[in-house]
Amino acid sequence: MAKILVVDDDEDFCKMIAEMLEVDQHTVRTVPNSTLGEEAYRAEPADLIITDLVMPGKTGLDLIMELRKEFPGIKILAMSGGGGITGHVDYLPVAHLVGAKEILHKPFGMKELREAVMHSLEQSK
């Protein structure tokens, strides 16, 4: 199946996503921030990146824009619970505008994750 890189600062959430995806035989790597996400992707490209948007330091939006410039065909699924520095903000439409082909609102279930991953992986470059 696919190689998937998950970028999220919540370690427990990363573990849960990895377990959900490994059921479908995907190989999953997790990293806790966007800087490490960029480094991990450059060192070993994945078939799909799943990234949170609100993280300390560089955001998931920064990650999407940086990698999209360098790798125009990259497949990215963005997820967010709507948290933000100044309160509840929905960054998912912005993520879609800057290059995430699929978006997921947290919390989500296994079915929603599977469908979003499948749609992301099926998209042409």
The model's pLDDT over 27-73, given as tens digits with 9 standing for 90+, comes to 999 999 999 999 999 999 999 999 999 998 999 999 999 999 999 99
pLDDT of residue 85: 47
Query: What percentage of the chain has pLDDT greater than the value 90?
Result: 79
The answer, yes or no, to whether the previous bond of 45 is cis (omega within 30 of 0) is: no
Residue 13, domain CATH = 3.40.50.2300
CA 45/CA 42 separation, integer angstroms: 6
The answer to whether the CB of 53 falls within 8 A of the CB of 91 is yes
Q: What is the pTM of this model?
A: 0.93
3-state secondary structure of 76: strand
Q: Which amino acid is at 38?
A: E
Is the model's pLDDT at 89 over the cut of 90? no
Burial of 48 (0-12, 13-18, 19+ CB in 10 A): buried
Q: Which of 23-32, 100-109, 116-125 has the lowest mean pLDDT?
A: 116-125
pLDDT of residue 11: 95
CA 9/CA 34 separation, integer angstroms: 9
Q: Domain count for the chain, please give it.
A: 1
Average pLDDT over all residues of the chain: 92
Q: Print the domain residue range for 98.
A: 3-122
